[in-house]
Structure 1
């Protein structure tokens, strides 16, 4: 990707010069968390990017709950590693997502929407939805609490800030260096 153009004002002369793309550390940590947790649960990362539409892509074939854990890893990893705090919604809020997903009132590709759609498709009612959500949330936080997973996320995020996009092989190499497999 070509560097962005920056406009430089120098007295009466207007000139342009190449400037590096400003990348957001929060987004890098979010996407790196998806990618590293995918490796930790046995998934195969295809690529991860913070340029354009940020996304971590992994090959399918994992159990549905692992997909929910991977999806939760983005916002929870962002909270744990970037903000140093985690928002855990109350059960009443989670139950609202269940109802919305079952009425097809949830759409889009945001992490919360994807979680609601995954869980609504695999749970019989709101109570099971909330219980399964909490199981996935606890598992995700337990993974993010492991120092070797956190250090792999930090390295993937740093590489994303430098390069913008990483191949799945690069993510797997970084994860392996940190003992995540």
Structure 2
């Protein structure tokens, strides 16, 4: 039976091979892959750049993600106050209404984005979320509030990622 120190020596010898072998196959990265990566990085840094378009796109997509997160958190935050003021038998139906709207919105706006364009779809979904979110603040009954929250979810659902890809890809501003 080999001693433990003998195993350590064998493992060390695996890592002390020549530097030319390590540079071409270290951790599965070949020299060809490194050359391609270097070429792509140089192209992105020197030719594509980062200008006004990328900054506008960053803020616009940030607005979409902000809308997604703020409305979901907002409905969760107002549940105790809904319970106090409107006295529903099951306050969970407000969250249920939001998720119904999200499901319908994600299904609808994913298809509409291909038909009418991503830019127009994005702007419409933000408008729907804003209008119904503000209108929800004036609801005088639980059923009305749930209906407005479902419509809000329909708008917000269009901003959610579709098929694992972000809703906003390219040419959003142009």
Higher helix share: 2
Higher strand share: 1
TM over 0.5: no
In the superposition, the TM-score normalised over structure 2's length comes to 0.27
